[in-house]
Amino acid sequence: PDNNAPPMPWFGMDIGGTLTKLVYFEPRENNRRELDKETEVLKNIRRYLTRNSAYGKTGRRDVHLQMENVTIRGRRGSLHFIRFPTSEVGAFLQLARSKGMADLVNTIYATGGGAYKFEEDFKKEVNMRLSKLDELDALIAGVLFVDSMNAQECYYWAPPNEEPVHQHPTDTPPYSAEALSAYVRKPFDFSSPYPFLLVNIGSGVSMLVVNGPSDYYRVSGTSLGGGTFLGLCCLLTGCSSFEEAIALAASGDNTTVDKLVRDIYGGDYARFGLPGDLVASSFGQMCAVERRAKVSREDLARATLVTITNNIGSIARLCASNENIQRVVFCGNFLRVNPLSMKLLSYAMSYWSRGALKALFLEHEGYFGAVGCLLHLDS
């Protein structure tokens, strides 16, 4: 064990534009006895966090993501993954105060814009200092650490016959439920990862070229991200949560909303290899009043999801080929409970690169920034 390690409890926090992610390290029992330092307050915090999976009205623990036997600074233990809407930071601070955290923790390692925005509130409400880390540094450190600790972390979606999809007029984009359901999740060995393009789809999107653990740069980004999907979906369908938006999209059909190549050509645009089923104009049918009258909420949600996802896929592909990179790793909470987007991205990467690019995904989706913070808790 590292004797210079800061006192427990160990947290890492990522206060994002939409969600706040909190990662908590629970030391293993014999560690705790060994140290024999666990105070009543510390014990209460540990029990409160590890025995519940919901906190207050909106806090949730992603129990399925919990990691066992993780070693950090010579200590073994479990990692717990908790999230709540950033709009509830005030309620979080009240809860932290009521659990006595304010007396125990004087520094929280935090990243994300909220680490700046809410710094004063943390100081005033619970007398906690935020030690701020850059969110992209934290993100990459978190990805590499979690992948090294979890053999199942990295995966891809394999098309039905595992052959890379090549650009061919008879290949049609798998927008239909049947075509997408044929994709299966398979583990990917990410032990020699470099170089890779990391595409973080949060409220907005950042794209990073990663050549080594601390050798990376931000190549691109787009403001059309997860926040755009949810915002537009709320406007268009009246839905009120991400889960609802995803459920609507899962049972919708975007071809009633979008204008396809075949709606314009009557079939394929064969000369340039554009299949008839390809979207030529996202939302292109919605300028016709008869079409609008017939469209369902599900179809609108599906079209919004496909539009945002394909736009991100297309920018990612351009960046990857520009930088001569074959592996594109997607993360961020937009992909939470969202296999539809992952499959669309997988298809698009492979199809438009004639099989040269591979889309990869990570099990801990949106938590890497928070993990990265936890790791740097020595600085």
Minimum distance of ligand ADP from residue 15's CB (angstroms): 8
Task: Report the residue from 6, 17, 100, 164 that binds ligand ADP according to the rule CB under 6 A.
Answer: 17
- 19 sits near ligand ADP (criterion: CB under 6 A): yes
Q: Residue 157: phi, psi to the nearest 5?
A: -105, 115
Q: Which of 280, 282, 331, 285 shows the shortest CA–CA distance to 305?
A: 282
* Cβ atoms of residues 285 and 298 within 8 Å: no
Minimum distance of ligand ADP from residue 239's CB (angstroms): 12
Cβ nearer to ligand ADP, comparing 18 with 350: 18
Minimum distance of ligand ADP from residue 214's CB (angstroms): 22
Closest-by-Cβ residue to ligand ADP is 16
* Cβ atoms of residues 151 and 187 within 8 Å: yes
- 156 sits near ligand ADP (criterion: CB under 6 A): no
Minimum distance of ligand ADP from residue 367's CB (angstroms): 9
Q: How many CB atoms lie within 10 A of CB 247?
A: 15
DSSP assignment of 28-52, as one string?
A: -HHHHHHHT---HHHHHHHHHHHH-
Task: Report the residue from 11, 156, 190, 229 that binds ligand ADP according to the rule CB under 6 A.
Answer: 229
Minimum distance of ligand ADP from residue 142's CB (angstroms): 12
Q: How many CB atoms lie within 10 A of CB 170?
A: 6
Cβ nearer to ligand ADP, comparing 6 with 221: 221
Q: Residue ranges of the alpha helices (H) in the chain?
A: 29-35, 40-51, 89-98, 101-104, 113-117, 119-126, 135-149, 177-181, 226-237, 242-250, 261-265, 289-294, 297-322, 339-352, 368-375
d(CA 336, CA 154): 15
d(CA 153, CA 156): 10
d(CA 67, CA 71): 10
Minimum distance of ligand ADP from residue 334's CB (angstroms): 4
| Torsional class of 332: left (φ above 0), alpha (ψ -120 to 50), beta (otherwise) | left
**Residues designated catalytic:** 135
DSSP assignment of 280-322, as one string?
A: EETTGGGGSHHHHHH--HHHHHHHHHHHHHHHHHHHHHHHHHH
What residues does 210 pair with on adjacent strands? Answer: 196, 216
Cβ nearer to ligand ADP, comparing 10 with 367: 367
- 366 sits near ligand ADP (criterion: CB under 6 A): yes
d(CA 137, CA 116): 16
Task: Report the residue from 110, 230, 249, 371 that binds ligand ADP according to the rule CB under 6 A.
Answer: 230
Residues 242-261 that bind ligand ADP (CB under 6 A): 242
- 59 sits near ligand ADP (criterion: CB under 6 A): no
Cβ nearer to ligand ADP, comparing 100 with 221: 221
Task: Report the residue from 18, 237, 255, 310 that binds ligand ADP according to the rule CB under 6 A.
Answer: 18
Name the amino acid, one letter, at 192: S
Q: What is the 3-state secondary structure (H, E, C) of 244-265?
A: HHHHHHHCCCHHHCCEEHHHHH
Number of residues that bind ligand ADP (CB under 6 A): 17
Cβ nearer to ligand ADP, comparing 58 with 94: 58
Cβ nearer to ligand ADP, comparing 275 with 332: 332
Of 99-107, 255-263, 284-292, 330-338: span binding ligand ADP (CB under 6 A): 330-338
Of 102-110, 185-193, 221-229, 287-295: span binding ligand ADP (CB under 6 A): 221-229
Of 13-21, 280-288, 342-350, 356-364: span binding ligand ADP (CB under 6 A): 13-21
Minimum distance of ligand ADP from residue 223's CB (angstroms): 11
Cβ nearer to ligand ADP, comparing 17 with 355: 17
Residues 174-213 that bind ligand ADP (CB under 6 A): 202-203
* Cβ atoms of residues 204 and 225 within 8 Å: yes
- 226 sits near ligand ADP (criterion: CB under 6 A): yes
d(CA 46, CA 24): 9
Residue ranges that bind ligand ADP, judged by CB under 6 A: 16-19, 112, 202-203, 226-227, 229-230, 242, 332-334, 336, 366
